[in-house]
C-alpha cells in the first residue's frame, strides 16, 4: 500500500524533506512533485493572499482525490501539503509529491491530483492589492484541465 500523508496547515514546510520522505523506502524509482507559490511582482501587484478552507471537508476531499489517483495508477507514496492563512508573495502554498516505480505514473498522478485539488477541494483565495482586497474567481481553464481526466 502506498504511504499517504495529507496536511492542511498554517506553517511552511521543507520541500526537500518531503521529497526525501517520498523516496525514503527505497522502492520508488521516480518521484514527481509540484510546488505552488504566491505570485508577486506582476502588474496585478499582489501584496498578500489569504487562504480559507473548510476544516474537515478539505482534508476529506484531499483524501478522496488521492484515493482516486491510487485507483488509476500504482503509486508507492503520496504527500499533499496545503497551507492556509495569510501568505506573502514568494511563499509556498501547496506541495504535491508522488512516488512510483517509473516516471510516467508519477508525473501523471501528480498532475491529476493538482487538477482535482484546484477544482474540488474547498479552499478559497483572497488577494490583497494596493486597490484593496478581493476574492479570486474560479478559472474556466482549471475546469478544462480537470475535464481531460474524465472518460
Partner 1 sequence: MSITILYFASLREALGVEREQLSLPPGIRDVARLRVWLLARGEDWAPLAAPRIRAAVNQVLASDATTVADKDEIAFFPPVTGG
Binding site for partner 1 (CB under 8 A): 36, 51-54, 56-57, 60, 82, 93-94, 114, 117-126, 135-138
Smallest CA-to-CA distance from 75 within 3, 125, 8, 20 is with 3
Shortest Å distance, C-beta 27 to partner 1: 28
Strand partners, 30: 100
Residue 26 CB, shortest distance to partner 1, in Å, is 30
**CB closer to partner 1, 24 vs 36:** 36
* Residue closer to partner 1, measured from CB, 25 or 124: 124
85 touches 63 (CB < 8 A): no
Nearer residue to partner 1 within complex by CB, 86 or 125? 125
Residue the block writes with cell 482586497: 133
Alpha carbon separation from 47 to 39, 41, 126 (Å, rounded):
9, 9, 11
- Give the residue with the Cβ less far from partner 1, 20 or 135: 135
Q: Could you tell me where the beta strands, DSSP code E, fall in 10-131?
A: 30-37, 46-53, 75-83, 85-87, 92-100, 123-129
Q: How far is the CB of 102 from partner 1 (least distance, A)?
A: 25
> Minimum distance from CB of 94 to partner 1 (Å)?
5
Amino acid at each position: 500500500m502506498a504511504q499517504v500523508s495529507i496536511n492542511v496547515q498554517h506553517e511552511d514546510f521543507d520541500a526537500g524533506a518531503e521529497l526525501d520522505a517520498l523516496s525514503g523506502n527505497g522502492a520508488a524509482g521516480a518521484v514527481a512533485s509540484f510546488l505552488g507559490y504566491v505570485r508577486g511582482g506582476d502588474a496585478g501587484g499582489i501584496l498578500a493572499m489569504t487562504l480559507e478552507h473548510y476544516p474537515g471537508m478539505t482534508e476529506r476531499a484531499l483524501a478522496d482525490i488521492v484515493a482516486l489517483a491510487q485507483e488509476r495508477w500504482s503509486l508507492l507514496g503520496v504527500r499533499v501539503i496545503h497551507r492556509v492563512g495569510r501568505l506573502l508573495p514568494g511563499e509556498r502554498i501547496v506541495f504535491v509529491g508522488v512516488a512510483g516505480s517509473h516516471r510516467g505514473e508519477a508525473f501523471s498522478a501528480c498532475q491529476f491530483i493538482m487538477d482535482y485539488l484546484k477544482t474540488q477541494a474547498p479552499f478559497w483565495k483572497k488577494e490583497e492589492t494596493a486597490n484593496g482586497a478581493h476574492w479570486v474567481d474560479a478559472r474556466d481553464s482549471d475546469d478544462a484541465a480537470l475535464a481531460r481526466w474524465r472518460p
